[in-house]
């Protein structure tokens, strides 16, 4: 629900959201490495409850200037994920053969709470010159508990994480030399702490994970400038640059890790050129960006999926840097786009052995260089005044080399959707999607072909105040999660039927609402990492 109250230039607003999700799925997986063949059939169950509350105020004293503050609390008081697994492990060799049948129960529970404050001041010095300040504060914590039980013992683990963020950004905008310039700077401090404790008193797992404490502290300072200008009625251009300095320190057991702690300084340029007529738009853009791994990916905590498979974080992850070149052509309802990207130290999920152990696989994020070419076409139109068809086609070609293997098989994606206005208050819709088999765009995984279909209808009442939406997702039950990962001599196959055919009915009632004039925005991308 959303509520906004306005008196003159003063706004008070709030939202209240409630989300409850339940899932059931069947999953089969196979691991093949060294002298082991492991196959498992699992039943997955999940229940999640999330509450979100927002409260804010905004004051606008003229057309150019306003100030505001917003507080958001996100609470997950209950999040359960359980796996009931039947596993068959076979060790095959010339001198030794062994078969183990293991029944396990994996109970996982997560609770979390996050408090987030955003405040801003947007001050118009003149009609076309402004100064804007955004500040952010985040304080959050989460607790992940795992109780892994097999027929001969149990393993318990608990990870408690805490996140803290302070950030601010100052932006100055003004006309310059017939164009417009935006310049400013930002700074942030991020702190992420994890306390992981594992207990295996009955020696359930032969190589049980060990307890760890780790802390990541980061200070970031950046400056940026962007200049945009039009040349006559047809041409426009944009050029920009960003400089960042990051001081990242990682501590394990209160001891600083020289391998994981790094200082980075980088210069990231961008530029674009565009041409426009009444019907045609053509643009060429280049951008150089950096992306730092999430703090979850940097964790030291380890989860046990079964006695032969663990997963965890990687404190050694480096920031990824991307050079991106994009060419776009538009004509009426048709849009064509070509994108080429070169990624240094991208992140991808990898299977390897757990330490030097030859019977346990380890699933974690690692840095992988990659390149990709993406060609796409999109068309939309309105036919006979009531039919709105859309067609999208995308071709993606990855170029990935890892561990002496190439993962370069392309994929094609086709999407066709239709909306038909049966009456002013009644619409029907249909969507068909198809993915061919091939390698993922930035991961060394192989995805199998997939087909998805959805139909729906929308009925409105009382001048669109009440809206009923009925849809059937995955109509033919043909869309499944199915992929293979083959890295470091370990082959993993997965099949999961989550997302089965579902009937969805939603009802929305719109009161006479006044939209908030709040103009605050996040001052840093660090929020996404948390």
pLDDT for 343: 97
Query: 3-class DSSP state for residue 384?
Result: coil
- Do 77 and 110 touch, CB atoms closer than 8 A? no
Q: pLDDT tens for residues 443-476? A: 999 999 999 999 999 999 988 889 999 999 999 9
pLDDT for 4: 83
pLDDT for 209: 77
Distance CA 281, CA 392 (A): 19
Quickly tell me which residue has 């009915």 as its tokens: 505
Distance CA 29, CA 494 (A): 5
As given in the structure block, the two tokens for residue 139 are: 């304080």
pLDDT for 304: 87
DSSP 527: H
Q: Are strands 411-423 and 426-435 parallel, antiparallel or unpaired?
A: antiparallel
pLDDT for 203: 56
Distance CA 155, CA 147 (A): 6
pLDDT for 18: 87
Task: Report CA-CA distances (Å) from 205 to 102, 149, 164, 252.
Answer: 12, 10, 35, 24
DSSP H/E element including 526: helix 526-529
Q: Which residues pair with 105 in a beta bridge?
A: 84, 149
Quickly tell me which residue has 């207990």 as its tokens: 199
DSSP 383: B
Which region, left, alpha or beta, applies to residue 357 given φ > 0 means left and ψ of -120 to 50 means alpha?
A: beta
Distance CA 78, CA 344 (A): 38
Q: pLDDT tens for residues 326-372? A: 999 999 999 999 999 999 999 999 999 988 888 899 999 999 999 99
Distance CA 469, CA 346 (A): 40
DSSP H/E element including 26: strand 10-33
> Angle at Cα 290 formed by Cα 285 and Cα 296, nearest 5°?
135
Task: Report CA-CA distances (Å) from 7 to 12, 21, 57, 519.
Answer: 9, 38, 11, 17
Below-70 pLDDT ranges, the chain: 94-97, 200-207, 512-513
pLDDT for 247: 97
Instruction: Name the CA dihedral angle for 94, 96, 99, 100, rounded to a multiple of 10 degrees.
Output: -140
């Amino acid at each position: 629900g959303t509520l906004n109250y306005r008196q003159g230039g003063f706004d008070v607003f709030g939202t209240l959201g409630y989300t409850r999700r339940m899932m059931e799925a069947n999953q089969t997986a196979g691991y093949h490495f060294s002298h082991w063949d492991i196959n498992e059939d699992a039943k997955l169950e999940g229940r999640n409850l999330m509450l979100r509350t927002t409260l804010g105020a905004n004051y606008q004293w003229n057309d150019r200037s306003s100030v505001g503050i917003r507080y958001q609390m996100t609470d997950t008081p209950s999040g359960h994920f359980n796996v009931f697994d039947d596993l068959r492990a076979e060790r095959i060799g010339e001198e030794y053969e062994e078969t183990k049948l293991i029944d396990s129960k994996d109970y996982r529970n997560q609770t979390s709470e996050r408090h987030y404050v955003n405040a801003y001041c947007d001050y118009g010095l003149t009609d076309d010159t402004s100064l804007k300040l955004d500040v952010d504060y985040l304080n959050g914590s989460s607790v992940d508990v795992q109780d892994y039980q097999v027929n001969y013992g149990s393993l318990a683990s608990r990870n408690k994480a805490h996140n803290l963020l302070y950030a601010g950004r100052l932006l100055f905008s003004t006309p310059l030399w017939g164009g417009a310039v935006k310049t400013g700077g930002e700074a942030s401090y991020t702190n992420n702490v994890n306390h992981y404790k594992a207990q295996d008193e009955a020696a359930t797992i032969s190589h049980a994970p060990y307890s760890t404490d780790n802390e990541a502290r980061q200070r970031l300072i950046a400056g940026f400038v962007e200049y945009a200008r039009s040349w006559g009625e047809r041409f426009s251009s944009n050029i920009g640059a960003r400089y960042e300095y990051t001081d990242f320190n990682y501590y394990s057991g209160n001891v600083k890790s020289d391998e994981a702690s790094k200082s980075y300084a980088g210069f990231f340029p961008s530029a674009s050129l565009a041409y426009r007529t009444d019907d045609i738009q053509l643009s060429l853009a280049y951008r150089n960006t950096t992306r730092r791994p999430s703090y979850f990916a940097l964790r030291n905590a380890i989860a046990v999926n079964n006695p032969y498979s663990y997963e965890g974080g990687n404190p050694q992850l480096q920031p990824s840097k991307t050079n991106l070149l994009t060419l776009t052509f538009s004509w009426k309802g048709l849009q064509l786009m070509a994108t080429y990207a070169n990624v240094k130290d991208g992140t991808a999920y990898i299977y390897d052995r757990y330490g030097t152990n030859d019977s346990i696989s380890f699933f974690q994020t690692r840095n992988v260089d990659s390149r990709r070419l993406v060609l796409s076409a999109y068309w939309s139109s309105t036919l006979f005044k009531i039919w709105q068809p859309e067609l999208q086609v995308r071709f993606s070609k990855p170029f990935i080399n890892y561990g002496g293997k190439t993962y370069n098989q392309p994929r094609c994606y086709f999407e066709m959707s239709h909306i038909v206005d049966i009456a002013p208050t009644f619409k029907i819709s249909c969507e068909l999607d198809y993915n061919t088999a091939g390698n993922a765009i930035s991961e060394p995984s192989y995805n199998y072909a997939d087909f998805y279909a959805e139909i729906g209808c929308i009925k409105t009442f009382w001048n669109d105040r009440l809206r009923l939406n009925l849809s059937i997702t995955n109509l033919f039950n043909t869309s499944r999660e199915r992929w293979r990962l083959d890295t470091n001599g370990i082959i993993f196959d997965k099949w999961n039927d989550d997302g089965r055919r579902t009937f969805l009915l939603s009802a929305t009632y719109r009161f006479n609402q006044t939209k908030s004039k709040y103009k605050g925005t996040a001052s840093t991308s660090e929020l996404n990492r948390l």
